[in-house]
Structure 1
């Protein structure tokens, strides 16, 4: 399904594929040879989304563009099922595996691998060719890699990266009520969405 969001429409190469049931919303560009499979969501909330040539976005992946952090995916990239890419930049030839999560301001270098259920935290830079092992967390610039059982070490780096400010535009002291009040108002922009086509 193609959706006009915030007055912007997707632009899809005639040589790309958007499968039935995928949603492409707003300022999204999909280049030739890219394949967007069933249930994937590409949504330019208030920032653009770009999908490079011959990139494959598998089932139920979510790619979200943010105002200060567009989602830019290079060419020849694999985005696995249930992966979540929010306001991140991914270089050419990278591999983002099933269930991986990339947060706003993250940069994944060309040819890097973020393996199953791995995380690249906010404002983290993963060097070209680097590998984040299954379930591990990359945090900081340059990225440090930690197993999931090393929470205190992850937090020691992550606390300086301003997750609340980067992801939600709030100070760390903000409570969930304030964050969700802002998020609810922000996503109300979808009330004005217009379905403009069905690629399926």
Structure 2
């Protein structure tokens, strides 16, 4: 594992999982590469409560500079570089999200759906509603840049876990 990777206490990473430089796996996230591979690109963040899982024949490949929002579920799917996956969204086996796309919070991307590069998808089931504009491209960049910086702070011990008594 690259020394710049941050895996938060309480996150679970097991099986065939590869994490790129400056990737971060946040509190309560689970990456379970038990029956196929999970590959996470550099500077990608898997925020609190995210689940990445696979099926046999359905690896999970998440590109570089991707922000994956809190409690998202990515199951046997592909997300290309420079994407934003909204909080609580679900990507099912065989879903393929093209470069520079945004999946809105709460969207469900059905099995084997191909989202073209630069698309905004919303809803249940997820549908392309428009092209990603400059403002959304900036938000994608701001998200991964923020999490790269925060991961470095957390890795350095800036936020020690509180000790509680019951």
The two structures have a TM-score, normalised by structure 1, of: 0.62
The two structures, once aligned, show a CA RMSD in angstroms of 1.5
* Counterparts of 2:69 and 2:39, CA distance in 1: 17
What are the residue-to-residue correspondences of 1:167-178 with 2, within 5 Å? Answer: none
- Residue 35 in 1 paired to residue 12 in 2? no
How far did 1:137 drift?
A: 1.9
Partner of 2:93: 104
How far did 1:145 drift?
A: 4.5
Residue aligned with 2:87, SS: coil
* Counterparts of 1:67 and 1:95, CA distance in 2: 26
The answer as to whether partners of 1:101 and 1:119 remain within 8 angstroms in 2 is yes
Instruction: Identify unmatched segments of 5+ residues in structure 2.
Output: 130-160, 162-166
Q: Match for 1:90 among 64, 79, 89? A: 79
The answer as to whether partners of 1:137 and 1:145 remain within 8 angstroms in 2 is no
How far did 1:14 drift?
A: 1.3
How far did 1:76 drift?
A: 0.2
- Residue 137 in 1 paired to residue 129 in 2? no
- Residue 13 in 1 paired to residue 15 in 2? no
Partner of 1:52: 41
* Counterparts of 1:111 and 1:136, CA distance in 2: 21
| Structure with more strand by fraction | 2
How far did 1:85 drift?
A: 0.2
Instruction: Identify unmatched segments of 5+ residues in structure 1.
Output: 1-11, 139-143, 147-199
Q: Match for 2:56 among 64, 67, 73? A: 67
Please tell me whether Structure 1 or Structure 2 has the larger radius of gyration of its CA atoms.
1
* Counterparts of 2:60 and 2:2, CA distance in 1: 18
The size of the alignment, in residue pairs, is 130
